[in-house]
């Protein structure tokens, strides 16, 4: 996909993805760029319904394959209705999670065969791949504590409005309820993808002030844009 700009943000729970997507959008908009903020799972009404199903702690046990197929059903709709049209119109798409999250959660940590992941990716995403992926790297215990604090803020009406309706009584979705060891696997998985695809992925230390992280994100995006223009 040539026109437009497609950047994804990846990382564990509470790493700061939603925060950094918002801050980067503000910065790009200040430079006159037309920005679309979106997220996965989700981004379209159908995909948001799939999100609610996938994240609900009360959903019945199912296999990593059934889960991956749901993610790709949502992703197909999202790419077709939002991402491709925005790219074709020359807009900048900032997506909070994308295929790397499926690879990490369902394949690396969830056991889905890598060949099946690759086949789904080829079938559904094809050339609609992000040209830049920012991986926010953070000790999962710190990230989960942030996510917990976000829930308390949201419950008291001070949060960023991102409280999940698809959560348990304590406000945690199905992934947030997993043991720390699972979250450690996710972290290692994202770092493995970054090592495998250094041209697309940049790892940023997320264990700093949001403003410091944002400054590094901006520097990475700015360099990317300059490289692309040159």
Ligand X SMILES: Nc1ncnc2c1ncn2[C@@H]1O[C@H](COP(=O)(O)OP(=O)(O)O)[C@@H](O)[C@H]1O
Residues near ligand X (CB under 6 A) are: 11, 13-19, 146-147, 149-150, 153, 160, 162, 208-210, 213
Residues 13-72 that bind Mg ion (CB under 5 A): 17-18
Measured between alpha carbons, how far is 124 from 143 in angstroms, rounded to an integer? 30
Quote the CA–CA distance of 216 and 204 in Å, as a whole number: 7
What is the DSSP annotation of 139-167?
A: -HHHHHHHHHHHHHHHHTT-S-S---SSS
Integer Cα distance of 2 and 38 in angstroms: 19
Q: How far is the CB of 229 from Mg ion (least distance, A)?
A: 30
Rounded least distance, CB 207 to ligand X, Å: 8
Q: Which one, 139 or 153, has the nearer CB to ligand X? A: 153
Residue number, 77 or 96, with CB nearest to ligand X: 96
In sequence order, the β-bridge partners of residue 201 are 133
Nearer to Mg ion, 17 or 185 (CB): 17
174 close to 57: Cβ distance less than 8 angstroms: yes
Shortest CB 149 distance to ligand X, Å: 6
What is the contact surface with Mg ion in residues (CB under 5 A)? 17-18
């Amino acid at each position: 996909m040539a026109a437009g700009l497609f950047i994804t943000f990846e990382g564990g729970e509470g790493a700061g993805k939603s925060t950094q997507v918002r801050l980067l959008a503000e910065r790009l908009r200040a430079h006159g760029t037309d920005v679309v903020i979106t997220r996965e799972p989700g981004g379209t009404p159908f995909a948001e319904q799939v999100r609610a199903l996938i994240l609900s702690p009360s959903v019945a046990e199912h296999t990593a394959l059934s889960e991956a197929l749901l993610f790709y059903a949502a992703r197909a709709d999202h790419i077709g209705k939002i991402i491709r049209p925005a790219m074709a119109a020359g807009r900048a798409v900032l997506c909070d999670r994308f295929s790397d999250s499926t690879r990490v959660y369902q394949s690396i940590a969830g056991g889905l065969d890598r060949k099946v992941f690759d086949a789904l990716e080829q079938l559904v995403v094809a050339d609609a791949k992000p040209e830049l992926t920012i991986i926010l790297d953070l000790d999962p215990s710190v990230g989960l504590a942030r996510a917990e604090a976000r829930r308390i803020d949201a419950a008291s009406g001070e949060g960023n409005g991102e409280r999940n309706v698809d959560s348990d009584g304590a406000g945690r979705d199905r992934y947030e309820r997993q043991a720390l060891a699972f979250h450690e696997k996710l972290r290692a998985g994202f770092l493995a993808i970054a090592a495998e695809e250094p041209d697309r992925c940049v790892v940023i230390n997320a264990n700093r002030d949001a403003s410091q992280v944002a400054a590094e994100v901006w520097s990475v995006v700015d360099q990317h844009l300059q490289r692309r223009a040159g």
